Structure 1
Amino acid sequence: MSMLELLPEVWQKEWDKQSYGEPTLIQSTLYPLLLENESVLGISPTGSGKTVAYLLPLLQKVIQGNGNQLLIILPSQELASQVADVTRVWAKGLELNVQAIIGGANVKRQIERLKKRPEVLVGTPGRVLELIKLKKIKAHLIQTLVLDEVDDLLSDADFNSTKGIIKSVQADTQVVATSATGEQILPRMDTLFRTALRVIDVTEEDNTKGSIQHGFIMTPVRKRSEVLRRLAHVEGFKGLVFFNQVSELGAVSERLNYLGIKHQTLASDQHQVERKRAIHDFETGQVPLLLTTDLGARGLDFSDLEYVIQYDLAQTVPDYIHRAGRVGRMGKIGTVISLVNDGEKRELNKLYKEVGKTGIEYFATHGKLLTEKPDSRSDEEEIETLKPVKEEKVKATVVKEETVRDKQETPKKKKKKNRTKKQKNKGAKWK
C-alpha cells in the first residue's frame, strides 16, 4: 500500500489541494520508519519536502488532549514561523493545537498559551530551552524531538541550547534530524545522543532537484550595488542576495535606497516584526531584492524564486549548497549568480570544482540578463541615463532656470540712486 493510501482522508484532500503529486523519495522512505518510532537522520537535497516527510507520520502519532508531545526545533525565527504555519495546515485536520515558541516574541504570552497544553510545539532553541528551565514546557512528556536543519542547530551559535534540550527529554524519546549537507555532522551528533540515529540518505537517488544554472558576473566590490540595480530592472526578476557580514548588507541597502531601488533586508539584528515584513514583501513580489545573510535565510522556502545572488562568496561548500538550494526546489528551475573580481574568481572555481559544477559568465544591462558581452558604449549610456539625481539638485536647477527666464522677460528698470539728504544738497552749497 502506498504512502498516500495510508493517509487520513482529510489529508488526502489537502495533499491534492497543495498539488503535491507523487510523494518524494525522502517522504515515502521516512513515513513507515517514523510511524514505527525509529530515531532517524534524514538526508536529502534542499527543496525535496523534508518538512512534510516528518510531519505526516509524526502528527498521526500525537494524541489529542494529551499535552505537549511533539517538539520541533529550528535554527531561525523565520524558519520556525514558516514551519509552524505548515504544521498548522496538517494539524487542523486532526484537531491538534500548534504553538510557536520563538525568540523575539512576547514570552509572557507564550507562557499563557502553554497553559492550554498544545500538543505540538515549534520553536527556536534558545527560547525553548528557557521555557523548559522555567518548567513551562514539560520536556519529560515529549514523545518525539525533531531537529530540523540539524547542522545549523549543532553550530557554535546554537550548540549549547540544542544540547540542553536533548538532555532534558527522556532517554527513550524518538529523535528525528534532517539535513541537506550529508553525514559530515554525524561525529558531533554521536556525542549528544544516547543511541545512534539510523542514517537515511537519498541524495543520490532523489529526483526532485530542478535545473540550476551556476554563473558569475565580473565586477569589483565598489560597483556591485550598480549591478544589483541593473538586476532589479530585469523584468520579473526576484533575487535573494547573500552577504557574509551584516555591516556590508546595511551599507549596500543604504546605497540602493539612494539609487531608488525597492528592496528589503533580512538580518539577525532586526526586530521580528521587521523580518516578517521583509519576508512578506519579497514573497508577494512587492520588492525584487531581499538582502540577507546565511543565518537570515537558512532553510527558508520562497515560491517562484529563480535567482540567488552571491554579493559575497560563500565561505564554505555547505554554505554554497544551502544558498543554491533556495532555487530549483521541487523540480523548478533556478540560477545562482556570484559577483566576483579576478581574485575571487579563482576561489569560485574551487567551489565549483568541489560541488561538481561549472559556471558561465553573465552580463546585466538594459533590463536584460545576457550570456554575451554587450557593446561597451551602450552600457555606459545606460549608466548615465539611469543615474540618480538628488532632489536638492533638481530643485536648485529649477530655481536657476526660473530666475534666468524672469530676467529675460522682465524689462530693466532705471536704478534709483540711494543718496542721503546731505548728498542731495551738496551741489546747492556751491552755487
Structure 2
Amino acid sequence: MISTFPKAWQEKMTKLDFTQLTDIQRKVFEPISQGDNVLGISPTGTGKTLAYLLPSLLKLKPKKSQQLLILAPNTELAGQIFEVSKEWAEPLGLTAQLFLSGSSQKRQIERLKKGPEILIGTPGRVFELIKLKKIKMMAIDTIVLDEFDELLSESQYHFVSKIINYVPRNHQMIYMSATNKVDSSLLAENTLRFDLSGSALDTISHYYITIDKRNRVELLRKLANIPGFRGLVFFNNLSDLGASEERLQFNHTSAISLASDVNVKFRKIILEKFKNHELALLLATDLVARGIDIDNLEYVINFDIARDIETYTHRAGRTGRMGKAGAVITFVAHPEDLKKLKKFANVSEIFVKNQQLYIK
C-alpha cells in the first residue's frame, strides 16, 4: 500500500523508517478512502492519528477551504494532531489551522480567511467560530472525533452534538478511540466498527515497587537521580501532585508539573524541555496528560494505582509507542493495590539501589 502513496510521502516514510502500516492503519484505510463512516478502536500508541489522516488527506482538494474538521478533547491532543497534520499535508499542498480556547479568536478568524483545507480544534472554540459563521459547516465533507470516548464527557459532548447538527446530511464521520467504552447509539448510521482494543502493546514491560505511602516522593527523587532516567508521573489527585512537586523542587530534583492552569505557551516550554531530556520527571493527572506524545518515552510512573483498566491502558500507552520499548512502574503501598494491579497487567517487582533499577 505504501508504494501507492505520493512520492513526497514515500520519501518521508523512508527517512522515518516507516516501512509498513500498523494494524489499525491498514484496517481503516480503505473504508475511510471510500467515504464510509468508521469507528476505529485501538490502544494508545498504535498510530491512530495517521490511521485517519493518511486516507483523509489524500481525498482533499487543494485550494478548496474547510473540507476536513478534526475535533479533540483538549489543547494538548489538538496541538499534537495539528503538528502531525502539517507534516503530512504540506507535501500535498494542503494547509491545516488550529483553533483552541484560550488563544486569540481574532487571530484564528484571520487564519480562516487564508482558506485552510483542514481545521483542527477543541469543540468549545470550534462551536464559537461556527456561531460567528467563520467556520462554514456546509463546506465540511468529513468530521473526525479523536479520542471519541473522551469527547463523550458532559462538558464536551453538548458542543460536539451541536457541531454535528450544522453539517450537510451526506458528510463522513470518523470516530477514533483507545477504549471500547463507546455508546453505539451516538454513532452515525452505517458506521463500520474496527475494534482492536484487545491487541495489547507487547513492547511495554510492567513493574511495581512496594513502598510505604509516606515514602513515595522520596522514591521519585531516587528515580530522578538514575542517570538518563525520564518518566511521566501520573497522580490521581491534584493535591498530591502539588505537594509532591513542592517537595521535589525543594530537594532540587529535576521535576515539574503540567497542571491544567499553566498557560499554553508555558506548557509548550515544559514539554520541549522534557522531550529534550532536560527534565527527569514530568508530573501530571490523567486529564492533563491526554494528547501528550513523547517519542521514545522510557518510563510511565503511577504514583497512585490507576482507578480502572482503561485509565491504566491510557497511561501505559504514553510509552512503548509505535513498537518502541517502554516500561510502566506502579507504586504499591497495600496488598489490595497489588491485587488490583495484577488484573491490569502482568507485573514484576523491582527496586532501586545505587542509582539503578533491579528486578527482584
TM-score class, shorter? over 0.9
Select 1:254's aligned residue among 242, 246, 255: 246
How much does 1:142 deviate?
A: 0.8
1:270 maps to 262
1:186 maps to 183
Alignment pair present for 1:364 and 2:352: yes
Sequence identity (%) = 44
CA deviation profile, 1:157-216 (whole Å, cap 9, x unmatched): 32222222222222221010111212x3134xx2x3441421012344x58x34222221
2:340 maps to 350
Distance 1:62 1:272 in 2: 30
Partner SS, residue 154 of structure 2: coil
1:118 maps to 116
- Letter of the 1:163 counterpart: S
1:263-412 map, 5 Å: 263-342=255-334, 345-353=335-343, 355=344, 357-372=345-360
How much does 1:90 deviate?
A: 0.8
1:5-84 map, 5 Å: 5-84=3-82
Residues paired across the two proteins, number: 360
How much does 1:340 deviate?
A: 2.3
CA deviation profile, 1:222-269 (whole Å, cap 9, x unmatched): 211100000001121110000122232121111111010112221222
Distance 2:135 2:12 in 1: 30
Consecutive unaligned residues of structure 2, counting only runs of 5 or more, are none
Alignment pair present for 1:133 and 2:121: no
Partner SS, residue 132 of structure 1: helix
Contact 1:149 1:299 in 2 (8 A): no
Report the aligned-residue RMSD: 1.6
Partner SS, residue 127 of structure 2: helix
The TM-score, its normalising length taken from structure 2, stands at 0.95
Contact 1:27 1:53 in 2 (8 A): yes
How much does 1:145 deviate?
A: 0.3
Consecutive unaligned residues of structure 1, counting only runs of 5 or more, are 373-431
Distance 1:273 1:210 in 2: 35
- Letter of the 1:322 counterpart: H
Distance 2:91 2:269 in 1: 29
Residues 6 and 337 of structure 1: CA distance in aligned 2, closer, same or farther (over 3 Å): same
1:198 maps to 192
Distance 2:256 2:120 in 1: 26
CA deviation profile, 1:319-368 (whole Å, cap 9, x unmatched): 111001111212222211111212xx413422432x3x222222123211
Partner SS, residue 133 of structure 2: coil
Which stretches of structure 1, 4 residues or more, deviate above 4 A after TM superposition? none
1:413 maps to none
- Letter of the 1:367 counterpart: Q
Residues 174 and 348 of structure 1: CA distance in aligned 2, closer, same or farther (over 3 Å): farther
Larger Rg: 1
CA deviation profile, 1:82-111 (whole Å, cap 9, x unmatched): 110110011111111110111221111111
Distance 2:157 2:235 in 1: 23
Distance 1:227 1:10 in 2: 48
Contact 1:84 1:98 in 2 (8 A): yes
Contact 2:296 2:321 in 1 (8 A): no
How much does 1:153 deviate?
A: 0.9
Partner SS, residue 137 of structure 1: coil
How much does 1:123 deviate?
A: 0.9
The TM-score, its normalising length taken from structure 1, stands at 0.80
